[in-house]
């Protein structure tokens, strides 16, 4: 997709930290023909990333134009500071998930902020490390660019060019706004999912056997890396704490109502909490950044064996209907799969008619 493109970024680009993000950035830039210099505190990690094709190990004589710091949040500001000092002509950015703390720490040590622009690509995977790196990790994702008031226009442009080269959509958001936003849409949901999942530890085995898709969805991200997340939450504690505290107050009110159902207003309080949830998820934008659309659901039963999905989707393609969302649901106790297709309401009937005429079993 990008093989014929000309890179906007002028190299060499130095990448400090060759984990998932650093390696992915290196892979993408290398594909674009930009010279990439890799650095990592661990020689083994460094060698792995270089072997994967993310760039070559940095040398003392290198003069990078752009430096991307991709180290854990707790050491980000120290490494940014070191890079600013060591390469007095380079633009330095970082990719840490929390932006204000890094900026404050850099101010505290009087770093040259004209050449620093914090950023945060909104991309990742549950698995980390160079081994999970991929050149297209950032394609189509927002890339938050949190320029400081001191940042020079040239430095901002360099980081924007980097984001664009990697296929991302640059999104200018101040460090404070960024941290407030991710506290709400990422950090608090992470904690809530973890704490909810933790309730299952002491559960009877027979109890969890009644688990359905709702529990699976609400707890999926509880599988995330505790070490990384402890750092993220600590670095953004001032934004996370008030949101989690307000959530705690809401939980408390519902506990009180449940414990005192006979008291006037208790049922209404529970009902209001559930209604507020309805209104809350309406705020979440749908795919392609547009307003959430209500799709029609068409459920097809298939045998759970190789080729069935292929046969189904091939015929859906023949029908000419675009699948907007899909979900594969396995029956908990039989080898039958339910494929939930979500399509624009206008084409629902056509899809059902055409699939049934081809012999598919449609629910309903």
Helix H, strand E, coil C: the string for 84-150 is: HHHCCCCEEEECCCCCHHHHHHHHHCCCCHHHEEEEEECCCCCCCCHHHCCCCCCCCCEEEEEECCC
Regarding 141 and contact with a second copy (CB under 8 A), the answer is yes
Q: Which of 41, 157, 198, 263 binds a second copy (CB under 8 A)?
A: 198
Regarding 291 and contact with a second copy (CB under 8 A), the answer is no
Regarding 149 and contact with a second copy (CB under 8 A), the answer is no
Q: Residue 261 and residue 268: Cα distance in Å, rounded?
A: 10
Regarding 89 and contact with a second copy (CB under 8 A), the answer is no
Regarding 263 and contact with a second copy (CB under 8 A), the answer is no
Regarding 309 and contact with a second copy (CB under 8 A), the answer is yes
Regarding 265 and contact with a second copy (CB under 8 A), the answer is no
Q: Least distance (Å) from a second copy to the CB of residue 49?
A: 14
Distances 292 to 96, 144, 246, 280, 349 between C-alpha atoms, Å = 29, 22, 26, 13, 21
**Interface pattern 203-242 for a second copy (x via CB under 8 A):** xx-xxxxxxx-xxxxxxxxxxx-xx-xx--xx--x--xx-
HSE (side-chain half, CA atoms, 13 Å) at 253: 16
Phi, psi dihedral angles at 67 (to 5 degrees): -125, 130
Contact present, 97 and 103 (Cβ < 8 Å): no
For a second copy, which stretch binds (CB under 8 A), given 7-15, 36-44, 81-89, 139-147? Answer: 139-147
Q: Which of 75, 78, 192, 344 binds a second copy (CB under 8 A)?
A: 192
Q: Count interface residues toward a second copy (CB under 8 A).
A: 137
Q: Which of 43, 287, 346, 359 binds a second copy (CB under 8 A)?
A: 287
Q: Residue 200 and residue 207: Cα distance in Å, rounded?
A: 9
Contact present, 86 and 112 (Cβ < 8 Å): no
DSSP bridge partners of 301: 338, 361
Regarding 140 and contact with a second copy (CB under 8 A), the answer is yes
For a second copy, which stretch binds (CB under 8 A), given 8-16, 58-66, 94-102, 356-364? Answer: 356-364
Output 1 or 44, the one with its CB closest to a second copy: 1
For a second copy, which stretch binds (CB under 8 A), given 43-51, 83-91, 109-117, 294-302? Answer: 294-302
The residues, ordered by sequence, that sit 6+ positions from 255 with a Cβ below 8 Å of its Cβ are: none
Q: Which of 6, 60, 274, 346 binds a second copy (CB under 8 A)?
A: 274
């Amino acid at each position: 997709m990008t093989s014929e493109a000309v890179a906007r970024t002028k190299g060499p680009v130095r990448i400090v930290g060759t984990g998932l993000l650093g390696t992915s950035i290196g892979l993408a830039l290398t594909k674009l023909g930009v010279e990439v210099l890799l650095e990592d505190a661990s020689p083994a990690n460094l060698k792995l990333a270089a072997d994967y094709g993310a760039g070559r190990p940095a040398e003392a004589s290198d003069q990078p134009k752009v430096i991307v710091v991709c180290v854990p949040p707790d050491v980000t500001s120290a490494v940014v500071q070191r890079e600013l000092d060591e390469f007095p002509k380079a633009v330095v950015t970082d990719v840490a998930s929390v932006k204000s703390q890094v900026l404050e720490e850099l101010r505290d040590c009087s770093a040259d902020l004209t050449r620093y622009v914090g950023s945060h690509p909104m991309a990742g995977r549950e698995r980390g490390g160079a081994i999970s790196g991929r050149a297209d990790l950032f394609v189509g994702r927002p890339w938050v660019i949190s320029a400081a008031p001191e940042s020079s226009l040239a430095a901002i442009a360099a980081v924007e060019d980097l984001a664009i080269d990697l296929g991302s959509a640059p999104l200018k958001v101040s460090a404070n706004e960024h941290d407030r936003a991710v506290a709400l849409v990422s950090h608090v949901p992470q904690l809530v999912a973890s704490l909810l999942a933790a309730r299952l530890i002491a559960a009877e085995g027979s109890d969890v056997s009644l688990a359905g898709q709702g529990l699976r969805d609400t707890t999926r991200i509880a599988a995330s890396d505790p070490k990384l997340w402890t750092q993220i939450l600590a670095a953004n504690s001032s934004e996370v704490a008030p949101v989690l505290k307000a959530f705690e107050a809401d939980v408390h009110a519902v506990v009180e109502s449940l414990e005192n159902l006979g008291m006037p207003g208790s049922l209404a309080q529970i009902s209001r909490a559930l209604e507020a949830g309805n209104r809350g998820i309406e705020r979440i934008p749908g795919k392609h950044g547009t307003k959430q659309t209500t799709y029609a659901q068409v459920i097809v039963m298939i045998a759970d064996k190789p080729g069935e999905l292929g046969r189904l989707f091939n015929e859906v393609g023949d029908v000419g209907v675009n699948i907007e969302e899909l979900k594969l649901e396995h029956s908990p106790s039989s080898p039958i799969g339910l494929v939930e297709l979500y399509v624009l309401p206008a084409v629902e009937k056509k899809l059902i008619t055409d699939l049934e005429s081809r012999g598919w079993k449609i629910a309903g």
